[in-house]
Structure 1
């Protein structure tokens, strides 16, 4: 198993089994998560960049298993994706867990290529780290939910 997969799996298990807890001196994780999600929905690249790590490594795993490993690749992808005005993505937070300097959010997603397109469901696992006083995304795992026919 890859390290990224293990981090995502561990995060999912922690979210499913543990209550949310936040450090008193840390910034509000819920607000940081909402800022990140809204930046995606609004195609707001400037704000999105403030929610992701400044480090070179930033794994993003797509529903088909394709992986991007660097911040530069993730930024290039989002620049192009945000330029497309047709797609829609909705998020429903399933749970979060917040530690001293790490936080995990597990969400259900619904994605459409166009406003009237067929929805595709997924699970999104986001791992954030407290970096220089801000919660920053360090891992993004997308898993497609296949509905039985």
Structure 2
């Protein structure tokens, strides 16, 4: 009888420890997932800030060093390389009259990838003799590459714009 009692005490103790270990592992995984999401979103925010500030080096730090980057502009023009994306932005950043504001509307982050939908408002004080605005929704794709989050895709769609 005593040996059964000892057996059940040990079994209960083992089960309690096992359950506690699972709870700790679950908490660790949740914390790691939250940190992963924060790092992904920090990269996107840096990317958006770089455009707002027309900061080429900052923008460059948020994309892969080489390879593919898919950019689709509202008019349907598309480029598929990091080099083409960066060259377009290098030229665009030289123009000083425009400004851009961003607001992240939705995001979802997974283990190695993430995406976000952003509202963007491009303004120019004058285009064709009058003020110009272009409101867009832009979807961004991000990928975890060698431990660093990189923006690898954006696709802009027009919501409304001035003539």
On whether the aligned pair clears a TM of 0.5, the verdict is yes
Other structure's SS at 1:52 match: coil
Which position in structure 2 is the counterpart of 1:145? Answer: 159
Structure 1 residues 5-45: Cα deviation after superposition (integer angstroms, max 9, x where no partner): xxxxxxxxxxxxxxxxx725636222221111101100111
Structure 1 stretches lacking a partner, 5+ long? 1-21
Instruction: Pick from 140, 143, 149 the counterpart of residue 126 of structure 1.
Output: 140
Q: For residues 55-94 of structure 1, what are the structure 2 equivalents within 5 Å? A: 55-94=66-105
User: What is the RMSD computed on CA atoms of the aligned residues?
Assistant: 2.1
Other structure's SS at 2:75 match: coil
Which position in structure 2 is the counterpart of 1:17? Answer: none
Instruction: Pick from 23, 32, 46 the counterpart of residue 33 of structure 2.
Output: 23
Q: Post-superposition shift, 1:113?
A: 2.6
Structure 2 stretches lacking a partner, 5+ long? 1-31
Structure 1 residues 45-88: Cα deviation after superposition (integer angstroms, max 9, x where no partner): 11100101223111100000110111111111000001111111
Which position in structure 2 is the counterpart of 1:9? Answer: none
Query: C-alpha distance in 2, partners of 1:105/1:114?
Result: 29
* Structure with more relative contact order (C-alpha pairs < 8 Å, separation 6 or more): 1
